[in-house]
Each structure stands twice: as C-alpha cells, then as structure tokens.
Amino acid sequence: MDSTWQEFYDTHLPPQDFDQSELLLKEFTERQLKNNNKVVLVTSGGTTTPLEHNTVRFVDNFSAGTRGSVSAEYFLEKGYSVIFMYRVKSLEPFSRHFVGQKFLDMLETNKQSEKYNITVLPQYTEKLAVILHKYKEALSQDKLLQLTFTSVSEYLWLLRSACQALACLGNKAIFYLAAAVSDFYIPSNELSVHKISSNDAQTISLQLVPKILAPLVSLWVPEAFVVSFKLETDENLLISKARNALNKYKHNLVIANMLHTRKQHVTIVSHENDYDISLTDEQLNKGEEIERLIVDDLTSRHQRFMESTKKSS
Ligand code: PAZ
C-alpha cells in the first residue's frame, strides 16, 4: 500500500532531538545567507526500517557513506558550506581517513617518569596534519554542520526540516541526495512495542515509503539545484530508471551507479543528455576518488544554473 507524505508526517512522531536539529539548521543557514555562501545538503548512509518500537531488529539499506563523506570534502574545497546529514556510525568527512585500526597504527606511545606521551609516527604526520587542518578550517569558518539519522522516519523529518531552513537560499542551495533510503517501512501504529518473540510466527506487512522527492522539488525548495542518486544491480535497468525518476520529479540531475562499480564509474543523467564519469584502473589504484570528478562537474553545472535562474531586480 502507498501512503502520502502528509500522512507519513501526521502519523510518525519527530525524532527525540528534533527541536535541537531544527534550531541548528535554522541558525546555520541564516549565517550562510548573511555571508552570501553557497550551501550543499549532502545526505549519506543507509536508513533503517525498524521492526519494533524498542528496536532490536531492523531492515537496513546498504551504504557505507563513502559517496557522501568524500563528496562533502570536495564541496568544501570548492567553497561551499556543507550540511552533512548522515546515518549514525557511517563514514564522516575527514575522520573517514582514519577508520578502524588505521588511526591507532599512526600513533606511538612512550612512557617517561610514569607519564605517557603520544606522538604521530613521522611517516603519517603530513597526511594527518593536512586533513586535520582542513577539518579545523571548515569548523572555524563555520562551513560544516553535521546531523544524524538512523531510521527512515528520522531521515524524512530531518530532510523536510533542512528544506524548510534552506528554502531562503533559493538557487544557491544544492541538494545532493546520496543516502540509500528504504523503500518500505512498517507504519508506526502497526509496529510491535517490544522485541518480537521468536516463538511468534510473524508476517510482516510493509508499506511503501512516500517518494519525498515529489514535495521536495515542487513545494519545499522549488528554486534549488536538486541531484538524486539511483543505485541498481541490473545494468539493463539503470539508465531507464534514472531517466524515469528525472522525468517524474523534474529535478536537475540523477547520478546513476551500479553497486559493484560505483567507485569507478557513474552516469550523469540530465534533461539534455547522459554522460559517463569514470576513473581508469590506474587512477583508482593510485587512490583517486571519483567524487572529485563528480563534484567538479556538479559545481560548474550549478554555476550555470545560478546564472540562468538569476532574478532580474
Ligand atoms: O555510501 P556508499 O559510497 O557505499 O554508496 C553510495 C550509494 C551507492 C548508496 C549512492 O551512490 C547511491 O546510489 N545512493 C542512492 C541509492 C538509491 O538508489 O536509493
């Protein structure tokens, strides 16, 4: 069964820290507007569909958060301010370079008169310093705001709130919707309160998550530059599905990618044409990131978009 987006918000409570997130979004965007900054909202990571109110079990959507976190860094390099809306525990800009053991492997300790000192191993100092500097600069220049979600409901509440805050930026805002959002959910009033017992045979009936791109493009941020992503595993469906989405929601671009080649190859589907952005094997092995090319392409498109939609005063 299908539900409308209004019904969804009417029947699902906002997340617990919603007032705080709303305030952060409002204040951040007001400061960006005052400083005449361009802002990109990057969504990143996968949403969950909880199976219980007190959630022990949930259905998850695949996404490590690489696309979003890497792109956020390149948008900052291009002078954009970034609202990074990401799934708890997925990759984040800057810290993504040091996940798992990697960070600890960069450090060494030595003990002098009962006190520990920590130093960065010389071979890592430059890398760590460069990344740390960029991170601190983004914060001190007030160019990065990070907000988290876990469930699809939290994601939808936060996304609408971000739209309401960003609407005042008009065509200076980019929406870069890279998060992998659940297509199905169990409505709040049908969810078991407690952990489903393994003794109870369960038939779960899922409802379709409302397609939020529709109100986002037509009602909430009609002047913004909106980019969605399409992930497929069947190559034969990828471009047609991406184009259908573009024709249906009438936003600016769809970036189409295949699960297993997404780090090396994407197709940009626009209203005029489709074109590929790729890294060679050699570039990939050298550690180059396709997001640099994607962000280069998008920011020049966004520039043209702002010029063509400039309001004559
Ligand atoms: O986060 P990641 O780098 O592992 O994956 C990125 C991605 C494949 C989730 C993203 O590029 C994407 O296609 N997002 C939209 C997914 C969808 O069609 O719902």
From edge to edge, which strands make up the β-sheet containing 225-232?
144-149, 81-87, 39-44, 173-177, 225-232, 253-258, 265-270, 274-278
- The pTM of this model reads 0.96
Confidence label for 188 from pLDDT (cuts 50, 70 and 90): confident
Bridge-based pairing of strands 184-185 and 253-258 is: unpaired
Residue owning the nearest CA to atom 5 of ligand 1:
63
Whole-number Å distance, alpha carbon 49 to ligand 1 midpoint, is 17
The DSSP call for residue 13 is P
Question: Ligand 1, closest atom to CA 67?
Answer: 3
Q: What is the pLDDT of residues 208-253, one digit of tens each?
A: 999 999 999 999 999 999 999 999 999 999 999 999 999 999 999 9
Between 251 and 114, whose confidence is greater?
A: 251
Q: Give residue ranges with CB within 6 A of ligand 1.
A: 63-67, 178, 180-181, 229-231, 257, 262
**pLDDT at position 40:** 99
Whole-number Å distance, alpha carbon 67 to ligand 1 midpoint, is 7
Instruction: Report the candidate in 46, 43, 71, 63 with the shortest Cα–Cα distance to residue 289.
Output: 71
**ipTM value for the complex:** 0.99
Token code pair at residue 69: 């976190």
What is the CB neighbour count within 10 angstroms for residue 265? 16
CATH of segment(s) 5-92+144-311: 3.40.50.10300
Instruction: Report the candidate in 208, 83, 220, 227 with the shortest Cα–Cα distance to residue 160.
Output: 220
Q: What is the rounded average pLDDT for all residues in the chain?
A: 95
- Residue spans of the domains in the chain: they are 5-92+144-311
Asked whether the predicted pLDDT for residue 3 surpasses 90, the reply is: no
